[in-house]
Amino acid sequence: MSEKQNILLLGCGDLASRLIPKIDLDAWQIRGLRRSAIFLEGASMSFGDASDAKVLEPLLLEQPQQIILCLTPDTREASAYRTTYLGAARTLSMLASKVSPSAHLIFVSSTSVYGQNSGEEIDEVSDVSPDRDQSKVLLEAENEIVRSKNPWSIVRFSGIYGPGRTRLIRNVQAGKFTEDSSASWTNRIHSEDCAEVLKVLMENFSKTNQGAGYLVGSDCEPALNTDVEKWLAKKLGRPSTEVLTQLEKSEIKGKRCRNSKLLSLGFKFQYPNFREGYQALLDTDSI
């Protein structure tokens, strides 16, 4: 039997915990790093700050073939993003090229780095012009990964939902709806599909020895926020406004994410649209 390869997970929250069960533990050895002492089955855990070179370097000396940065800031403030995302990306970029130069770096980012807000379709070659401070920090962190000499993949996920991420369902249950005059395009992806995307990026590198570059991680159907809310309201038996304001397409804000590159990698969605994903949540007791 061939020797196991190593995966290093920097940040072991929800997505990492969904990824681990998808990995063949007979072929891979998983090392996880997170700030708080929580253990994950299937992973050998270490605890500390990924931006601390003294913490990170010993883990890189184990020569992981894949390093996944799947981080979560303590708060939504830009300062927390800078500490968490940019700090870890900068430290990893500095060390990996020297200590583990062949490791594939996978960085989990966000489609918020695209500032388009007039209904445009966006993909991997669209201009990035973030308009929020948090998104600007994410772009800085992405650039740190790109500047490394390692092969890299940067996946920009759209709005992640799933178990434990049910704010929209709770809002609809509470009768909180967006006015039709404020309808905007929204994009989303189920957390189980996010984990599968990370697995596909690992497999793609194992086959090609090349990173995928930039990748938009979003499901197959951008949808108006008002349409999603009304669908949920009907499923939940909640009253919602039925008087639609007829908006010209040019008046609708937001952006529409295209996932053609992801599909070209052979990716198959478990939940290709919001209806299938939210129905799965409604069928459980996890709301």
Ranges of residues in the chain with a pLDDT under 70 are 1-2, 240-250, 285-287
As given in the structure block, the two tokens for residue 140 are 């800085």
Pick from 228, 220, 139, 132: which is nearest to 180 by CA?
A: 228
- pLDDT for position 209: 94
- pLDDT for position 244: 44
Q: What pTM was estimated for this model as a whole?
A: 0.94
**Rounded to an integer, what distance in angstroms lies between the CA atom of residue 105 and that of residue 12?**
16
Pick from 5, 11, 70, 16: which is nearest to 195 by CA?
A: 16
Could you tell me how many residues make up the chain?
287
> Using one digit for the tens of pLDDT, what is the confidence trace for 4-54?
899 999 998 999 999 999 999 999 999 999 988 888 899 999 999 999 999
- pLDDT for position 240: 66
Q: Domains in the chain, please, with CATH? A: 5-160+189-220+255-276 (3.40.50.720)
- pLDDT for position 181: 78
- pLDDT for position 250: 60
Radius of gyration of the chain from its Cα atoms, rounded to whole angstroms: 20
